[in-house]
Amino acid sequence: MADRLWVATRKGLFRIDRNKDTWRINPPSFLGDPVSYVLQDPRDGIVYAALDLGHFGVKLHRSSDAGAHWEEITTPAYPKTEPEEKGASLTLLWCLAAGIIDQPGQLWAGTIPGGLFRSDNRGDSWVLNNALWNLPERKEWQGGGYDEPGIHSICIDPQNGACITIGVSIGGVWHSHNGGESWQPRGNGLRAAYVPPELSKINHFQDAHAIRSAATDPDTLWCQHHNGIFVSKNGGEKWTELLNVAPSVFGFALAVHPHHPDTAWFVPAVKDETRVPVNARLVVNRTRDGGKTFESLSKGLPEKQCYDLVYRHGLDVDKTGLQLAMGSTTGNLWISENSGENWQEIATHLPPIYAVHFSE
C-alpha cells in the first residue's frame, strides 16, 4: 500500500507519511496559500502543486525531492486577444493528469474558465487545446459552483494515451480518440434536472462533478453528477443512471478501484441546497457489482453532528485498491486500509481540504 499521501488545502500543502502504524503530518509547504491540486507523477516521482493565490493569480510549482524544495514553473496561460474580444484568463488550475508511461513528461491541466492545456516537458511550457476551446458548445458552458466553467476530471487510457475523456462543470463529458485533435460529446444517458426538461439530455448542460475510470478497464467510466450517479461500460458512449441509492445520489467525490472496475466509492450528501452529510452522519457508499447494489460504510466516521463535505478531489484510492484517503472541507482526514470497511482518523484540524493524492 502507498506510504505517502499529499493533502492540498486552503492553507498549504501537507505531506503525510506512514510511520509504522500511524501517519506523520509534516510541516506544510506553501503555508497560507490555497493549493487547488497536487499530483505526484508516478512515472518520475515529480510533484506538482497548483496554487490559487488570492491576489496574485494561479501559480504552479514543481518538486523533484518530495517537497523539500520547490521551483515555480510556467503556469498555463490563455492566448492574448485584442482588447475588444475580452480574452480569457486563468482563474483556477483545477486538476492535473499525467500522460501514459510512454509519454514521459506529458501532462494535462484542466482549468477554469474551461481550457484544457498540455505540456510535453514536465510543465516547462503549456499549450491550450484549441480543438476543445473552439467547440461551438463551449460558449454555452456554465459555471457550476464557481462563476465560470471548468475542467475537473481528465481520464487517460493507460494503454492508449491518445484516448482522453474529460468532465466539465458545467459542460458535460467530452472524449478524444486522437490526443485532443478533435472532441466528441459523451453525455448520452446523462440527465440534468436543473434545466428545462427539453434541454435535460443535452451533453453540455450536464454537470458531471467527477468522472473516473479504472486503470485496468478504461471503458468503464463512473460519473458523480450533480443530480445522480451514472456508470458507462463503453467509454461514455452510453451512460446508465443508478437510482434509489441511499442515503443520497448527490455528492462530489468518486473513486474507482484500479483493478475491479465494478467497485467504486462515493461520499453522499444532501443535495445542493445544503451540501452536508445526510442526517449529519458521514458515510462512504461503495458498490462492488457495477452499481446494482450499494452499501454505506461508516466505521470510524462521525456518526452525528457532522457537517463535513468532501470535494471532488477529496477522495483517492491507491494502486492496490485497498487503501483510501478522504479529506473534508472541515479539515478532517481519514484513511481506510481495507477498502472502506474501517476508517482511521488521521487529522481533525487541518485547513479545508481540496484534494488528496496517494504517492505511488
Partner 1 sequence: MARIVLTDHLNRFIDVQHFDVQGTTLQEILNAAFLKHPSLKSYVVDDQGNLRKHIMVFIDNMLLTDRENLSDIVQPSSEIYIMQALSGG
**Residues in contact with 269: Cβ distance below 8 Å, sequence separation at least 6, in sequence order:** 248, 250, 251, 252, 275, 276, 277, 278, 309, 310
CA 66 – CA 179 distance, rounded (Å)? 30
Q: State how far the alpha carbon of 249 is from the alpha carbons of 47, 94, 129, 156, 330, in Å.
A: 33, 23, 33, 26, 21
List the beta strands (DSSP E) in 201-321. 208-214, 217-225, 228-232, 240-242, 251-256, 264-268, 284-287, 295-297, 315-317
Backbone angles phi, psi at 224, to 5 degrees: -90, 110
Residue 218 CB, nearest approach to partner 1 (Å): 33
Q: What is the DSSP letter of 198?
A: G
SS3 state at 130: helix
- The residue from 89, 121, 160, 234 that contacts partner 1 (CB under 8 A) is 89
Of the candidate spans 81-89, 99-107, 232-240, 304-312, the one that interacts with partner 1 by CB under 8 A turns out to be 81-89
Closer by beta carbon to partner 1, 113 or else 179:
113
Report the 10 Å Cβ neighbour count for 359.
Answer: 20
| 78 counts as binding partner 1 under rule CB under 8 A | yes
| 55 counts as binding partner 1 under rule CB under 8 A | yes
CA 216 – CA 285 distance, rounded (Å)? 22
| 134 counts as binding partner 1 under rule CB under 8 A | no
Closer by beta carbon to partner 1, 113 or else 187:
113
x-or-dash string of contact with partner 1, 220-239, rule CB under 8 A:
--------------------
The residue count for binding partner 1 (CB under 8 A) is 19
- For 62, the enclosing helix (H) or strand (E) is strand 57-63
Closer by beta carbon to partner 1, 60 or else 229:
60
Closer by beta carbon to partner 1, 52 or else 157:
52
| 57 counts as binding partner 1 under rule CB under 8 A | yes
Beta bridge partners of 342: 299
Of the candidate spans 71-79, 132-140, 189-197, 286-294, the one that interacts with partner 1 by CB under 8 A turns out to be 71-79
Contact 259, 218 (CB under 8 A): no
- The residue from 5, 49, 90, 164 that contacts partner 1 (CB under 8 A) is 90
Contact 91, 111 (CB under 8 A): yes
x-or-dash string of contact with partner 1, 183-222, rule CB under 8 A:
----------------------------------------
Residue 57 CB, nearest approach to partner 1 (Å): 6
| 56 counts as binding partner 1 under rule CB under 8 A | yes
Closer by beta carbon to partner 1, 138 or else 257:
138
- The residue from 9, 36, 40, 75 that contacts partner 1 (CB under 8 A) is 75
Write out the residues near partner 1 by the rule CB under 8 A. Answer: 53-57, 59, 72, 75, 77-81, 83, 86-90
